[in-house]
């Protein structure tokens, strides 16, 4: 094992399942001390136990990132305490995805999705980044989505929040980069979920791509390790597509 994150600490939001869990596990496998965070203490304990069983370091901090500044600030403070006084890597992964059409979206849903997907990472980054800047080093990784740039007929609200996240990624890279804090984003393609019906739809969306099918949470986690590690020290303000070629390439059969 290369241990590319040895000696680093990391906070991964929404890391009790799927992509977030894979990122937390990958970070721990590379030597980082990871705070696993989410709403379910039961699922969080399962992730932490698995990491520890494989020799990694992890702790669970429960958080319901509802968009309030208080919730984000509380998570930042507790994660910093658990990690021994510093957070070297922040992954803003937590998010919600209602696959509604625009006419079917009510105001309550609109406000909740923006609160979780935009306000929560905004205030969490605001709470964590200054200490990174003071230390002269740090990495922030935001999770976006391929449907920001390739529109689909449902989920307009969700895709708009991820567009905001990409804009914040570039703005934060300019704001914090000069102090040594690298801010980048990952844009996953259709990734295998636990829901068979969703997997069928995602598989159809990946037809005609170089990959030819859906990706895995582990593929996204590998990209996150790269952006968190020192080898990406010259990478600032990018959105890294990990989408099987969905947004950039069309494969035309002969």
Please give the average pLDDT of every successive group of 10 residues along the chain, which has 254 residues.
91 97 98 98 98 98 98 98 98 94 96 98 98 98 96 94 98 98 96 66 82 93 98 98 93 64
DSSP string, the chain: ---TTTT-EEEETT-SSHHHHHHHHHHHHTT-EEEEEES-HHHHHHHHHHHHHTT-EEEEEE----S-HHHHHHHHHHHHHHTTS--SEEEE---------STT--HHHHHHHHIIIIIHHHHHHHHHHHHHHHHT-EEEEEE--GGGTS--SS-HHHHHHHHHHHHHHHHHHHHHGGGTEEEEEEEE-SB--S-HHHHHHHHHHTTTSSS-S-B-HHHHHHHHHHHHSGGGTT--S-EEEESTTTTT------
- CATH 3.40.50.720 is held by the domain 9-188+216-240: yes
What pLDDT does 254 receive?
44
What pLDDT does 199 receive?
66
Q: What does the domain layout of the chain look like in residue ranges?
A: 9-188+216-240
Give pTM, 2 decimals: 0.95
What pLDDT does 178 receive?
98
What's the first-to-final CA gap in the chain, in angstroms?
42
The yes-or-no answer on residue 114 being catalytic is no
Instruction: Find the catalytic residue in 97, 114, 158, 226.
Output: 158
What pLDDT does 253 receive?
56
């Amino acid at each position: 094992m290369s241990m590319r994150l040895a000696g680093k600490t990391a906070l991964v939001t929404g890391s009790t399942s799927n992509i977030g869990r894979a990122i937390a596990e990958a970070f721990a496998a590379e030597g980082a001390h990871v705070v696993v965070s989410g709403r379910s203490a039961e699922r969080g304990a399962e992730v932490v136990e698995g990491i520890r069983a494989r020799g990694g370091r992890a702790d669970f901090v429960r958080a319901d990132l509802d968009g309030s500044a208080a919730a984000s600030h509380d998570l930042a403070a507790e994660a910093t305490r658990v990690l021994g006084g510093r957070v070297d890597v922040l992954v803003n992964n937590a998010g919600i995805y209602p696959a509604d059409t625009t006419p079917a979206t009510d105001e309550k849903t609109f406000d909740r999705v923006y609160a979780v997907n935009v306000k929560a990472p905004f205030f969490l980054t605001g709470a964590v980044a200054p200490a990174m800047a003071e230390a002269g080093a740090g990495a922030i990784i935001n999770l976006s989505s391929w449907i920001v740039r390739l529109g689909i007929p449902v989920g307009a609200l969700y895709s708009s929040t991820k567009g905001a996240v990409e804009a914040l990624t570039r703005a934060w890279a300019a704001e914090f980069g000069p102090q040594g804090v690298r801010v980048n984003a990952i844009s996953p393609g259709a990734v295998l979920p636990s829901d068979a019906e969703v997997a069928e739809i995602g598989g159809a969306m990946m037809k005609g791509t170089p990959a030819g099918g859906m990706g895995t949470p582990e593929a996204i986690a590998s990209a996150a390790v790269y952006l968190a590690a020192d080898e990406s020290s010259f990478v600032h303000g990018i959105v890294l597509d990990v989408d099987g070629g969905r947004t950039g390439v069309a494969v035309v059969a002969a």
